[in-house]
Amino acid sequence: MNILILGSGGRESAFAWKIAQSPKCEKLFIAPGNAGTHQYGTNVNLKVTDFEGIKQLVISEKIDLVLVGPEEPLVKGIHDFFLADEQLKGVPVVGPQQHAAQLEGSKDFSKQFMEKHNIPTAAYKTFTKDTLQEGLTYLATAGLPVVLKADGLAAGKGVLICLTLEEAQLELTQMLAEAKFGEASSRVVVEQFLQGIELSVFVMTDGTNYKILPEAKDYKRIGEGDTGLNTGGMGSVSPVPFADAGYMKKVEEKVIIPTVEGLKKDNIPYKGFIFIGLMNSEGEPWVIEYNCRMGDPETESVMRRIDSDFVDLLQGVAEGNLNEKELIISPKTAATVVMVAGGYPGEYLKNKVITGTENVRDSIVFHAGTSTQEDGVISTGGRVLAITTLQNDMFTALQQATADASRIYYDGMYFRKDIGFDLL
C-alpha cells in the first residue's frame, strides 16, 4: 500500500517510523513532514489544510490510505472532502468526519455528548454573549477554582483555571464580550474543577469495533515539578502504573464503551482515534476532554509499545474489520523527553543548528520542529525533538531518555529532567 501521513510533528514522526516497518507499506509520504521524517518516507511540502494539493498528491502517487495527524484538517472536514470527491471517495481516511471531529472542535458539543450518554465528566453550563449576565451569576454560585473553556479550537490556550470569582467573571466577560479567543470564545463552557492525576487514553475505532492502545501520561508544564506555563507537552511515559487492569476496566466500561456506543446511537460515523483526556480522581475516571486524533508527545511512547503491524490495524479501521486485527502491546516501558527551543512556550529561538544526535545511545530521535538547511538540521518550531526509549523497567527508561536528550545540543535547548519520575 501507498500511505500518506499528514502533519509535521513528533507524533507524525512516530507514525512514520512505525508504518515504514510494515511489510504492507510500499511507499510512504509525509506532508509536510520535517527533517527527520525523510528517513522513513518522502516529504511533500504541502500544508495539512491544502485539500486541493493533497488531492493532487493522492491521485499522482496512487495513495491507498491517508492518516491524519493533527486536528485542524479533521475539524475543517478533510474526511468529508474525500467522501464528496469522485476521485477520492475510494481512498480511506483515518480520522473522523467534520461532525464527529466536534468532539474536539467544540467543547459544548463534547459536553452535551457526554451528558447524553452518561459518561462521567465535570458538571458544566455553556454561555454565549447573550447569556453573559446569567454566566456571571452562575459563577457566583459555582465553587472555586472554576474552569472556563472557549468552545472552539484556540491553539491550546482556550482553557483557564480561575482561582477567584473576580478573575473568573473578568475572564468570562473578556471571552464572550471582547472575543478574547476570537470566534472560538463566542461560546464558553464553565465547568467544575476536578482534582486528581491526568491520564491519556487512546482508542482506535472503525465506528463499530475498537481497540484500546497503550495509555500514557503527558507532562504539560514547562518547568520541573509541573510548574510554569502550559506547553504542547514536554514528555510522556507508557504504561502508567495507576492505570492497572482494574482501573482500565473501569475506563472501558464507564467511558470507552459508552463513547463508541454513543457515537453509533447518534448516527455519527467515526473512523480514527479517540484520545480521551481523563482525570483520575480517587480511583474514578472523569473525562476532561476528547480529541479526535492521537496525542503528542504520547504517540511517540505509544508507537514504541505496539508490537503488531500498525498498517494492518489502520486497514482494520478503514475496512471496518478492526475486530479481526491483532494488537500486541509490549510490557516494556516507553519514555519520551521533548527538547524545546529556548523561550518556549513564549516567543522562542529559531534556526539553531542541532548537533549530537549521532551520540544518542538507546533512544529514537523523533523530529518535530526541524528542517534541513545547508548547514545541517536546524530548529524551526517550539518543540524541536522527542527522544523516546523503550526499556524493561521504568527507571531505566526515564534515565535513558533523559541521558540521551543531554547528548544533543543546540543554542538555547531545554528539556525537563524529571519526566516520569513522579510515577516511580
Interacting positions 350-389 with ligand AMP (CB under 6 A): none
Contact 397/420 with Cβ under 8 angstroms?
Answer: yes
Should residue 148 be labelled a site residue for ligand AMP when binding is judged by CB under 6 A?
A: no
Q: Does 288 bind ligand AMP (CB under 6 A)?
A: yes
191 contacts ligand GLY (rule: CB under 6 A): no
Cross-strand partners of 147:
161, 191
- Residue nearer to ligand GLY on the CB measure, 25 or 387: 387
Q: Which residues pair with 20 in a beta bridge?
A: none
Stretch that binds ligand AMP, among 71-79, 191-199, 346-354, 383-391 (CB under 6 A): 191-199
Q: Does 70 bind ligand GLY (CB under 6 A)?
A: no
233 binds ligand GLY (CB under 6 A): yes
407 burial (CB, 10 Å; 0-12 / 13-18 / 19+) is: middle
Report the nearest approach of ligand GLY to the CB of residue 61 (Å): 28
Residue 418 in grid coordinates: 524529571
Residue 216 touches ligand AMP, criterion: CB under 6 A? no
Does position 300 interact with ligand GLY (CB under 6 A)? The reply is no
Binding residue for ligand GLY (CB under 6 A) from 218, 300, 309, 404?
Answer: 218
Query: Of the two residues 64 and 289, which places its CB atom closer to ligand AMP in the complex?
Result: 289
* Smallest separation (angstroms) from ligand GLY to the CB of 218: 4
Contact criterion met (CB below 8 Å) for 389 and 366 = no
Please give the residues from 242 up to 281 whose contact with ligand AMP meets the rule CB under 6 A: 277
- Binding window for ligand AMP (CB under 6 A); candidates: 42-50, 186-194, 243-251, 355-363: 186-194
Give me the residues that bind ligand GLY (CB under 6 A), please: 218, 233, 291, 295-296, 298
